[in-house]
Amino acid sequence: MNKTTTIVCAALLASSLLTGCSEEAGKAGSASGGEGQEEKITLTFWRNSGNDAENAAYDKLVASFMDKYPDIAVEMTPIPYADYDTKLRVSIASGSPPDIMALDAPTLGSYAHAGALKPLTAYFKADGNLEDIPPSTLATYTYQNEIYMAPLTESSIALFYNKKLFEAKGIPLPSKNPEEPWTWEQVLDAAKKLSDPANGIFGIDPAQGFNNAGATAYFKYPIIWQFGGEIMDGEGKTSKGYLDSPETKKALQFFSELYNTHGVSALEYPPDPFPNGKLGMTVDGSWSLAYLTEKFPQFKLGEDYDIAPLPKGTRQAVANGSWSLGISSKSQHADAAWKFVNWVTSKEGQVTYSTMTKDIPSRYSAAKEFPELSQYPKNIFVVQNQKFGRPRPITPVFPQMSEAVNKLFEEVVIGKRNVDASVAEAIKKIDKAYADLGAQTK
């Protein structure tokens, strides 16, 4: 690859299009073990730097691995989140990627499509204990029938509700059974009763407002699925026939009406509206339990608020997938890299990691080691994820698709634009992105 080609590839990669370099990555896809006669193998491992607990957990896992495998050294490089994706893509474009890389689930399609990742299916079948991972989780890390990443943890979202506001209005409380959710119509009925505009109280924030496209994918796609709709086809090639289905449009219309017809949701809220009594209900993540406990100790679970499963339309659904580990297709030590990946994401590795970070393990066996995960409220997040989890569309144009759908939600809610017209425009953007991708790989 000459200097000009490298620069072009790097530019494409920084915009989440790895395709310009797929041929170079593909040539290295046949690399197998490569350990040969080496006495000591050194593996490079890049990950996004996390909080103190996450960093300490990785330090412990790396140290314990090297104790177990003294013939393998792991050089771990934490990189700030804001810089991580760009640096990783540029390293791939330049032909010098790390042996092992941490990746966020939605990025799988672009990396795998470009041939930057080594398929892990054979490794998993040999000693990866596939049966210990929920099928819906495995689907999140599978592209064109190959598993490319090994999951470490999961997260999930649920319906948080202000118990005292419910009781003051005489509203029956939602079930805490993760398989007995309220319908969205029941949520709407409660939201109408809870809303008190004169006192700045709104019934529900259904999806954490309007943030970036990544937040849209995690919080808003489930609403489409819950109404029976879809975003893209199973191969991640088009949104035609999916994003424009009657079910998807019904979900979008319902979401818009929460703001523009019923007035139970607002475009802007004051800081921390839920613990400050300005929201009757909010859809939020499992990570918020620790945040509320730390920042609002007077706002107590069981007394002031409780948690229920996500609402459903015709079915239950929640987005799954988190940061996971993959192996570069260029690695000359793929077998050794798998030993590390398999160690970190094994039951033992997940228990070690989750004990320190309080994250939810992705393996059944690891989750069972934490009694609190089978008890309220965390059982809601675990059961939803294991039984009703769904991958966000696995597509090499995920960034462009996600941005188009994010814009779609903004237009129908904030811009009050016609759903049909907004959907048609989003499909056009997504299909163009995939067509452009195909043109670049020819």
**Domain edges within the chain:** 3-155+321-390, 157-319+397-441
Do the first three CATH levels of 3-155+321-390 and 157-319+397-441 match, i.e. the same topology?
A: yes
- Tens-level pLDDT at each residue, the chain (442 residues): 433 333 333 333 443 434 433 333 333 333 334 444 457 999 999 999 989 999 999 999 999 999 999 999 999 999 999 999 999 999 999 999 999 999 999 999 999 999 999 999 999 999 999 999 999 999 999 999 999 999 999 989 999 999 999 999 999 999 999 999 999 999 999 999 999 989 999 999 999 988 777 778 899 999 999 999 999 999 999 999 999 999 999 999 999 999 999 999 999 999 999 999 999 999 999 999 999 999 999 999 999 999 999 999 999 999 999 999 999 999 999 999 999 999 999 999 999 999 999 999 999 999 999 999 999 999 999 999 999 999 999 999 999 999 999 999 999 999 999 999 999 999 999 999 999 997 776 5
Cα–Cα distance measured from residue 98 to residue 176, given in angstroms and rounded to the nearest whole number = 44
Cα–Cα distance measured from residue 237 to residue 217, given in angstroms and rounded to the nearest whole number = 17
- Indicate the fold that domain 3-155+321-390 takes in CATH: D-Maltodextrin-Binding Protein; domain 2 (3.40.190)
Type and span of the H or E element at 41: strand 41-48
Task: List CB contacts of 342: < 8 A, sequence separation 6 or more.
Answer: 123, 127, 128, 150
Task: List CB contacts of 354: < 8 A, sequence separation 6 or more.
Answer: 153, 360, 361, 366, 370
What mean pLDDT, rounded, does the chain reach?
A: 91
Express as a percent the part of the chain with pLDDT over 70. Answer: 90
For the chain, counts of helices (H) and of strands (E)? 19, 15
Residue 196 gets which letter from DSSP?
A: B
Architecture of domain 157-319+397-441: 3-Layer(aba) Sandwich (3.40)
For the chain, how big is the Rg over CA atoms in Å? 23
**Strand, helix or coil at 352?**
helix
**pLDDT single digits (tens) 212-239:** 777 788 999 999 999 999 999 999 999 9
Pairing of strands 100-104, 41-48: parallel
pLDDT of residue 211: 79
Sign of CA pseudo-dihedral 235, 241, 244, 250: negative
User: Any idea what the Cα angle at residue 217 is, between residues 212 and 222, rounded to 5°?
Assistant: 140
